[in-house]
Amino acid sequence: MIDTQQVVLLCKEHGFALVGVTDARKSKWSSEFQQWLEAEKHGEMQWLANNVDLRIDPTAFVPEATSVICVADRYAADDDPPLPARHGKIARYARGGDYHKVMKKRLHKVCNALRDLDGNSLYRGCVDTAPLFEREFAAAAGLGAIGKNTLLIDQSVGSWLMLGAIVTTASLESTSHNVAVDPCGTCTRCIDACPTDAITPWSVDASACISYLTIEHRSEIDPKYHKAMGQWIFGCDICQEVCPHNQLTEKTISAEVHSDYESKGSSLDLLEVLHWTEEDRRKAFQGSAMKRAKLDMMQRNAAIAASNYLSHNDDEALRQKITSWKS
């Protein structure tokens, strides 16, 4: 038998910044999720509409599950560096190592250690590729609270967090005492700042979100969003950048950022991306979560960002490339 204190210590030993435990219960947002899908706010992400039963109930994912161990890594802290001329911006979570691999490797080690302590229970580690509402469970476990932009916010260090979980049949005491319900109050900064108006309180229309458009949307992007996309070519951080919980304070600056997420670069030269071959893309994205975006998607994003850049700057080489790329 193991207890929650052992689990927390073990996860901390493997470098997770936040750890909590909650019950493996059916999502309280299942009906809202179904309505969100019916409104087609998931865009082209058909995988979200698949296996809905697994997503809303961890006992369908892991039969006889009783607990969910929730963990978080912190991946950013400082102000964004100035964007170089002719560059497109990358969301902070994708600037370092691929969080899927970074987290999954350590989660598997934790699972193995837990099996050694308790061989009678099942342990299944997962990151966001598994059908699990990890944000809801993380909030229930006391790791933070869901903000109006739908992201998990720890009121001490903000929302620059990667989430992972271990679904288990072990019966563990919950850590969800005194869970914060609303970290936002009357604040609407994320809603006001979103360039595509994708955010309404505690809901995001993914089909209008710049992160979705640049990473998950495979076909052409509706021209009505082009100007609003600005210089973003992979993801978007705007709703997090304006969040009061992410502003620089002694506490947020001192909170540890996992070393595997150290930035390898916050932007890419748009002209270079437009000249990329598939081999260039593979080399640039080796070990990065950015490999999810295919070559045609990255060049589509770069072309939109380049057009926005050229509306305020003169760059003849970039202009010529855009002209030839569109023809």
SS3 content of the chain, % helix, strand, coil (to 5): 45, 15, 45
- Point out the domain boundary residue: 106, 134, 168: 168
pLDDT at 177: 64
Q: What's residue 178's pLDDT?
A: 57
Question: Which residues lie across from 20 on neighbouring strands?
Answer: 70
In a domain? residue 45: yes
The answer to whether position 224 is within a domain reads: yes
- For residue 51, what pLDDT is reported? 81
Calpha distance 152→185 (Å, rounded): 15
Does residue 103 form part of some domain? yes
Smallest Cα–Cα separation from 258: which of 15, 94, 20, 93?
Answer: 15
Same domain, 105 and 200: no
173 lies in a domain? no
For residues 204 and 134, membership in a common domain is answered with: no
Specify whether 136 is located in the same domain as 236: no
User: What per-residue confidence (pLDDT) applies to 327?
Assistant: 65
Q: Both 119 and 32 in a single domain?
A: yes
Among 55, 125, 73, 91, residue whose Cα is nearest residue 255: 73
CA-CA distance, 209 to 36, in Å (whole number)? 14
Phi, psi for residue 184 in degrees, rounded to 5: -105, -35
Q: Which parts of the chain have pLDDT scores under 70?
A: 177-180, 327
SS3 label, residue 50: coil
- Asked whether residue 161 falls in the same domain as residue 224, the answer is no
Single residue among 138, 168, 198 that ends a domain in this structure: 168
Residues 244 and 300 in one domain: yes
Q: Please report whether residue 147 resides in a domain.
A: yes
Q: Which two tokens stand for residue 324?
A: 């030839």
User: Using alpha carbons only, what angle is made at residue 99 by residues 95 and 105, rounded to the nearest 5 degrees?
Assistant: 140
3 a catalytic residue: no
Which residues span the domain enclosing 67? Answer: 4-77+96-168
Same domain, 133 and 14: yes
163 shares a domain with 31: yes
Q: Looking at residue 129, what is its pLDDT?
A: 76
Are residue 164 and residue 279 in the same domain, yes or no?
Answer: no
pTM of the entire predicted model:
0.94
- Are residues 148 and 293 both part of a single domain? no
Same domain (yes/no): 142, 193? no
Task: Quote the number of domains for the chain.
Answer: 2
The active-site residue out of 3, 128, 269, 280 is 128
* Boundary residue ending a domain (168, 201, 232): 168
Q: Let me know if residue 277 belongs to a domain.
A: yes
* 276 in any annotated domain: yes
Per-residue pLDDT at 256 = 81
Q: Where are the alpha helices (DSSP H) in the chain?
A: 4-13, 30-38, 46-49, 52-56, 58-61, 99-117, 134-140, 189-193, 210-215, 226-229, 238-241, 250-254, 270-275, 278-284, 295-310, 316-326
Query: What residue type is assigned to position 252 of the chain?
Result: T
For residue 204, what is the enclosing H or E element? strand 203-204
Cβ proximity of 232 and 214 under 8 Å: yes
The verdict on residue 313 lying in a domain is: yes
Decide: helix, strand or coil at residue 106: helix
Q: What percentage of the chain has pLDDT greater than the value 90?
A: 81
Number of other CB atoms surrounding residue 188 within 10 Å: 12
Q: Are 10 and 155 members of one domain?
A: yes
